[in-house]
A = this chain, B = another copy of it.
Amino acid sequence: MRVVCAPDKLRGSLDAAQAAAALAAGVRAAGGTPVEHPLADGGEGSRHTVQTACGGAVVDVDSVDALGRPATTRFGRLDEGTAVVEAAEAIGWDAPATAEHDVMRASSAGLAAPILAAVRQGARRIVVFLGGTVTMDGGTGLLASLGAQILDADGKPLAGSGADLNRIHFVDLAPARRALAGVELVAAADVLSPLFGPDGAAHVFGPQKGATPAAVELLDDGLRRLAPLLGAGSAAGGGAAGGLGAALLALGAELVPGAALVRRLTRFDERLATADLCLTAEGKVDAGTDAGKTVAAVVSACADAAVPCVVLGGTVTPEADRLYERGATAVLPIGAGPRDLDTALRHAADDLTRTAYAVCRLATAQLRRQDARV
C-alpha cells in the first residue's frame, strides 16, 4: 500500500517535513510504503517546504530586517527560471527585529533585496510567499525599495512604514515596474483579507503584530488612503502580510491561494496518481482548515484523484466536519487522552506515528479481507 504523507506544519511542535517523517514512520511500521510530501499554505516555512519537494539552490542575500538593520535573507532557485521568496524569511517573526518590534516603524523594504537578486540571476518568474511578516506598511517599503516614488504632501519621498501611511499623497509605481520588467510575479497568500476595512489587514492582523487599538485605527485609515493610490481596491488577499498582497497586485502580480500554489509547485497531484491512501495533518483542524489551508487543499486534491484521504489533527473541532463535505474519508484526532497543550505538543510526533500506524492497519485489513472474499 502506497501512502502519501502530506501534512502541513503542526504549529508549536513540528514543521511539515518533521510531521511527514512522523507519519511515514507509522506507515512503514504498518507495512505500507510511505511517500513523504510535506506541504504549506503560503505562510512561514513555505519556501523550505517547496524546496524540500523540488530541490534547487538556496541563495543568500544581504538585506535589512523589518526595522532596517542589516540582515541576511535568501531566495530559492527552482528549475525553469522560477525563484521563490518568502516574506517571513526577510521581514518575519523569526527575523532579528522581533525583540524590539514596533509595528508602526516596521517596513517591508527588506523584501526588495531577495526579489531584485533573483531578477539579476535571471529569474523569469518569482513566487513570493506572503504571510508571517511583522509589517503593516501596505507594502510601501517594498515598493519604495524597488524604485517606486512615494511622496508626501510636500513632495518629499517616504521610505514606507506603518507610520508613514497617512502622509502619502502620491505614488508612482513605474520605476518599480521597470525593475521587474519581463518577470512574472506570483504572490501566494494564506489569507483572504482585503487591504482595509473591518476584515482588513489592520483589524484582523494588527493586534497580533503588536498594534494597540488606536494604532489599528491609524493603520486602517492609512491603508484605506493607500488603496486608490495603488489601484488595488478591495481584492481578497490584498491584506496579506500587512498589505503586501495589494502592493504586489499593483505591480501586476497574480495573487493565488498559497496552499493551491504549493500543491502545484510540488506536483502533489502527480504524487497522488499512484497512491492508495493519503494522510494529511495539522495542529488544529477547525473551521479555518476549510478556508484555503493546506489540509483542505489536500482533501480536494484527493477527492479529484479518488484517493481516500485521512485528516489527522492535534485538535479536531466539530467544524472540521466541513472537510467531509469536501471529500475527506476520515478526520481523526491524534491525542492520546485528556492532557494539557504543552504535553500534547511534546508528543505530537509520536502521536502522529501511532495514529498513522492504526489508520494504515485498518485500511490494509479491509483490503486483505476483501481480497480473501474475492
Q: For residue A330, which residue of chain B has the nearest CB? A: B358
Chain B residues with CB below 8 A from A355, complex form: 332-333
Q: Report whether A340 and B337 are in contact in the complex, using a CB–CB cutoff of 8 Å.
A: no
Query: Does A284 belong to the interface (CB within 8 Å)?
Result: yes
Query: Does A359 belong to the interface (CB within 8 Å)?
Result: yes
CA–CA, A332 and B332, complex, Å: 9
Interface bits A324-349 vs B (CB < 8 Å: 1, else 0): 10000111111111111101100000
Q: Report whether A333 and B330 are in contact in the complex, using a CB–CB cutoff of 8 Å.
A: no
Chain B residues with CB below 8 A from A366, complex form: 277, 308, 362-363, 366-367, 370
Chain B residues with CB below 8 A from A333, complex form: 333-337, 355
CA–CA, A330 and B330, complex, Å: 14
CA–CA, A315 and B351, complex, Å: 12
Interface bits A273-315 vs B (CB < 8 Å: 1, else 0): 0001100000010000000000000000000001010100111
Chain B residues with CB below 8 A from A331, complex form: 354, 358
Chain B residues with CB below 8 A from A310, complex form: 358, 362
Q: Report whether B337 and A316 are in contact in the complex, using a CB–CB cutoff of 8 Å.
A: yes
Query: Does A361 belong to the interface (CB within 8 Å)?
Result: yes
Q: Report whether A362 and B314 are in contact in the complex, using a CB–CB cutoff of 8 Å.
A: no
Interface of A is mostly: mixed
Chain B residues with CB below 8 A from A354, complex form: 316, 331
Query: Does A365 belong to the interface (CB within 8 Å)?
Result: yes
Chain B residues with CB below 8 A from A361, complex form: 324, 329-330
- Name the contact of A335 in the complex, choosing from B338, B343, B367 (C-beta under 8 A): B338
Closest-CB distance, A348 to chain B (whole angstroms): 11
Q: For residue A316, which residue of chain B has the nearest CB? A: B336
Q: For residue A333, which residue of chain B has the nearest CB? A: B336
Q: Report whether A369 and B338 are in contact in the complex, using a CB–CB cutoff of 8 Å.
A: no
Please, could you name 7 A-B residue pairs with CB atoms under 8 Å apart, sorted by A? Answer: A276-B369, A306-B372, A315-B336, A316-B354, A333-B334, A333-B337, A335-B337
A306-B372, A335-B338 provided; 14 other pairs, C-beta below 8 A? A277-B366, A313-B337, A315-B337, A316-B337, A329-B362, A330-B365, A332-B355, A333-B333, A337-B344, A338-B339, A338-B340, A338-B343, A338-B344, A339-B339
Q: Which residues of A contact B (CB under 8 A)?
A: 276-277, 284, 306, 308, 310, 313-317, 324, 329-341, 343-344, 354-355, 358-359, 361-363, 365-367, 369-372, 374
